[in-house]
Amino acid sequence: MSRNLRIVVVGGVAAGPKAAARARRCDPQAEITILEKGEFVSYAGCGLPYLIEGKIPEVKDLLATPVGVLRDAQFFRAVKDIKLLTGKEATSIDRAQKLVKVRDVATSREESYPYDRLVLATGAVPVRPPLPGIDLKNVFVIRHPGDGMAVLAGLKEGKPQRAVLIGAGAIGLELAEALVARGLEVTVIEAMPQVFPGLLDFEMGAVLQRHLESKGVKVRTGERVASFSGNQEGRLARVHTDKGEYPADLAVLAIGVRPNVELARQAGLEIGQTGAIKVDQYLRTSDQNIYAGGDCAEAYHRVLGRPVFVSSGQLANIQGRIIGTNITGGKVAYRGTVGTGVAKVFDYTVGCTGLTETVAKNEGLEVVTALAPGLDHAHYYPGAAFVGLKMVAERSSGRLLGVQVVGPGDAAKRLDVAATAITYGATVSDLSQLNLGYAPPYSVAVDLLVQAAQVMDNKLTGVAQGVSPLALKELAAQGEDFVLLDVRTPAEVQEVRLKHPQVSVVPLGKLREKAKELPPDRLYIPFCKFSMRGYEAQKILQGQGFTRVQFLDGGVVHWPFELEQGEPK
């Protein structure tokens, strides 16, 4: 009788336990062991900002199943028949003997675990640059439950009043909300020129930054942290950047993570160009008996057509399931990611799927874009809220490349539909006729995503001509003589408007009458709140014989530059 398959999994957070659980379902007789260096396993790391905020009462809530059963060694043994060992640090791999060498964290005793199939799910580690003062008390990173508990302890012990968050990505901005809720003054410092760099284009980031500032968060973009200084007790006192300094009683570095690949590198496994472990479509490493998934491994990007490094709990679970199938005799290929990410930042949902315009252009793609904000459901049904939306498509084929969302409305719904469309290679023409669920509480008659696709279709076919705010800025720099034609009502104009010297106000209802008074040779750029009326104004003027007309993409909602309120001066 042949012995049972021996499976060893290194890493006990997401991909590792998922691979082990799937392997058990596929092979009831396999001997499965999970080795985890820390004390926490199978936890929801994405919930840490909400633990710090207080929305999640205790850290154990991040470690439990949906019905409240703690996912510990006893759970894995009783329910899964999996041996889960915590406090076990894998130090090396003997590929010839098929042994994982381990150090017991508590006793420093050396141990070895034989395997037939090995799964590396070693995750990622936070980027913690060697800056002066980074080891002061109350300077934190956030990755593991222990990190969240350390921040909570820091909030209780020193009763900090001022926090500085370094990095304006998802974790940094989720923590901004958490710490504001705790009563702290919060400053966010971001080295890039905008918040959510890489996930949003500039116009979309500007909408989010305004929301952050409306909640009292100070946002400093284009600044790099240089050092930290403390008081006599060794506790943080100030954060220093290349442009100034900020008093701080607490600081959190949220500037990204890097794949934890030292174990794989020492074992001679191939590391990809992204810095993560190179894997094939079946998530095998360069050793056919060793698989890798989650934050330590590369992931194929369906739009870019090459491997990328992505830190994602969702991706880790998907890859873990595939690995669990394949190490027990299956042959399931990982088809790839489209880079979908979403976060809640105060009252706004912010997210992206596919490519941003910036990334697409850097890849050498010729694109067409649309800023197409709108309401998440019928305006007459209570609670309607706007969703800022940007769509990116390939000009030659019309293939949808990316969608970004920002706003208080139901943006995640639109993002998920866009992610599905990108996954299956849809064009904007395909989306323009998409049959989505409609009822006044859930959508407008033509859903916002479909509206955006129709705008894109109009642009691609030459029916509509739009100009983005950044393109408009370039026109101004070139000395172009244009008129920004505000076609909103006087009440709307008084509420908020573009602070720009070339704005002229002509309400849409009076445009046909006033058109004969406008010089015909100038460039007119009509706009409104969302630019739906701006597009109407474009067609009116073109119908009156004006040849130089382009509506302003995104209208006032997506104007990334200065706005003003009150009576016009």
Q: Where are the beta strands (DSSP E) in 265-323?
A: 290-292, 299-301, 306-308
- Asked if 46 is an active-site residue, the reply is yes
Kindly list the distances between the CA atom of residue 354 and the CA atoms of 204, 376, 402, in Å, as whole numbers in the listed order.
Answer: 15, 21, 4
- Can you tell me the distance from the alpha carbon of 117 to that of 289, in angstroms, rounded to the nearest whole number? 5
Handedness of CA 199, 204, 206, 210 (dihedral sign): negative
Q: Give the DSSP per-residue string, 122-177.
A: --EEE-----TTTTSBTEEE-SSHHHHHHHHHHHHHS---EEEEE--SHHHHHHHH
- Can you tell me the distance from the alpha carbon of 249 to that of 237, in angstroms, rounded to the nearest whole number? 6
Q: Residues in the chain, how many?
A: 569
Out of 26, 46, 296, 352, the active site residue is 46
Six token digits for residue 484: 């920004």
User: Regarding beta strands 306-308 and 348-354, do their DSSP bridges make them parallel or antiparallel, or are they unpaired?
Assistant: unpaired
- Can you tell me the distance from the alpha carbon of 141 to that of 55, in angstroms, rounded to the nearest whole number? 20
Q: Give the DSSP per-residue string, 327-381.
A: TTT-------B---EEEEETTEEEEEEE--HHHHHHTT--EEEEE--EESS-TTS
Amino acid at 460: L
Bin 253: left if φ > 0, else alpha if -120 < ψ < 50, else beta.
beta
Which positions are catalytic? Answer: 46
